[in-house]
Structure 1
Amino acid sequence: MTTARAFAFALPALALLLSACGSEPEPSGNDADSFAARIGKGEATPGAGGVPVAQGTVAPTVAQPMPGAAPGPFAPGTLTDPAAKTCGAPLMGPFIGKLADQATRAEIAKVLGRTDNLRFVTYGSIGNVNPDPTNPRLSIMLDAQNIIRDARCG
């Protein structure tokens, strides 16, 4: 490479280096007002002694449960899903947390009105279970202590 070509390549790099010299990034404040400005909220509202006062927040709106659903957070195909009535999962709400002994199992069969398409899935056998929320079979999920933890279609 000739000296002229090397100089032609080095000149833009040198100009870039020189332009960076002497310019320092603007230090960002670590106080509440600087933080509020950075996140686009304007200035913090100071209270006594200049300490920021927390502003009220709006609580999230939680939808009312759909008719026929068991209480709890909605999960498709489970007892909190009213569409799960095809398998009877919403009827199992009162049994959640109970021991799955013979008397409870008989009561479940009585409430459900059938014993076919009903299975009790024991703890640790989840690898053998293929959930299908559209299936009319009711799966009662048990924990390691034989306590009913969930009811699902499929």
Structure 2
Amino acid sequence: MSETRVHLSKTEPAAYQALDAFSKTVGQICAANGIDERLKELVMIHCSQLNGCAYCARIHVDRAVAAGVDIDTLTQIPTWRESGVFSDRERAALELAEAFTFIAEDGISDEVYDQVVGGRGARGLPRGGSRRRSDREHHRALLRIPRVRAAARHRP
């Protein structure tokens, strides 16, 4: 079957440039907050898979390989919960990525939020003392995350 594909960069260059600028901004924010290319690309691949975007998955797999992610790790992203190849930090990032991908359905549960942010500040910097509810509520306000009590659902 033959089809004509639309190339956003040619048909709507302003939209393409805006997406490119957004991507660069996300990369700068990640770098400024200690998120390396490996972690960023693992999350981007997983979000692309969850959203069913083959184009984005391909782009981020190429970038992940360039960042040193091996094929074994790449093939285990869809089953990260059952896999032993991901660090605690990577597992937390993948969990949060799922919650954000489906934020309109579930919001971010307290369980996921506490697991990921815990006793850290909104930018992931350690905070003194234990996890306090006021910290959690403050970070929710900063991030504009709706409060949902139910745990995030797992979606294959």
TM tier, shorter chain? under 0.3
Largest Rg, 1 or 2 = 1
TM-score (norm 2): 0.22
Structure with bigger strand share is 1
TM-score (norm 1): 0.22
Structure with bigger helix share is 2
